[in-house]
Each structure stands twice: as structure tokens, then as C-alpha cells.
Amino acid sequence: MTTFVEIQGENLAVEIYEPKVRIADVVLVHGYTGSKEDFNLIGPLLADAGYRVLTFDNRGQHESAHSKREDAYQIHSLARDVIDIAQHYRFEKPHLLGHSMGGLVAQRASLDAPNYWSSLTLFCTGPHFSLKKTELETLIHLLKTMTMADLWSAYKE
């Protein structure tokens, strides 16, 4: 059953799956175009295995509120939501799983609160990605002036 909680001044839609006997907590973070419903299959299975499961719609997705804050959709702010919502529900040393873009958010949350999480699991995600302005300009220049075959050959060398 979906409930709502205010985190960082925004209403977020939350789903919690309760086990009969709790062995541990887990937080599931969906990807960019996803929602808490992405975990409708695995949530109950994890609860049956003894995990209390928390998942929620990221800010601006599905049932959660859209924000007008300038930093609201930056990874660090979304990661703060993950930490705050888990702490709001008193999840103790939860396992953290992030899917797709949710994996990027989960990585940031694990870096921002490294002693809070029991583990971090990434599913279909990539590493943190950022380029300096000069690196980005070089990449754009190469993409405009070289074929993909030439780029691949240069990369392999």
C-alpha cells in the first residue's frame, strides 16, 4: 500500500513490504523512467525471505511530487532522499540496491553515508561519470572529426 512522506520538503510515494520475521532491511532505488512498482515482484519475495523492503518513487516520478528547487534532480539531492527516507522509517544498516540511474543515486548515497549501509548492489548501472570541461571539449571535437572506426582504433592503441 502506497503511503507518502515528506523528505527535503517534497512528498515522496513509498511502498514498504513487511516480513513475518525480520532478518534485515533493504532499500531499492529505481531507474530514471521507473517507479517503486518496478519492484512489485522482488519486494514481496524479499519480504518472504525475511527482509523489510523500502522502495519509493524518486522525486518527480510517478506518484512523488515534482520539485521546483534548482538542485532537486541532481544526484546528490536524490541520494540525500534515499538516506533520509531510510532513516525516517528507522531502517537499521540496510542493504542498498540501485537499478540503472538508481544505481548512480545509490552509489552517491553509499559515499555520503558509508557507515549506514550494510552493502551496495548495483543492477544494470554504470560508474559515476563526470568530465572536466577540457575533456568534454576534446571528446566533442573528436566525435565531430573522426569516424567511429578511427576512434575505436585510437582507443585500442
* Every domain of the chain and the residues it spans: 3-126, 130-157
94 touches 54 (CB < 8 A): yes
Fold of 3-126: Rossmann fold (3.40.50)
Look up residue 57 and give its three cell numbers.
518513487
Over residues 55-72, mean pLDDT: 88
Please state, for a pLDDT cut of 70, what percent of the chain lies above it: 90
pTM of the model: 0.79
Confidence of residue 131 (pLDDT cuts 50, 70, 90): low
- DSSP 8-state symbol, 65: P
From CA 118, how far away is CA 107, in angstroms rounded? 13
pLDDT at 87: 98
Could you report how far apart the first and last alpha carbons of the chain are, in Å?
55
* Better pLDDT: 68 or 87: 87
- Rounded to the nearest 10 degrees, how much is the dihedral formed by the CA atoms of 28, 33, 39, 40? 150
From CA 108, how far away is CA 140, in angstroms rounded? 27
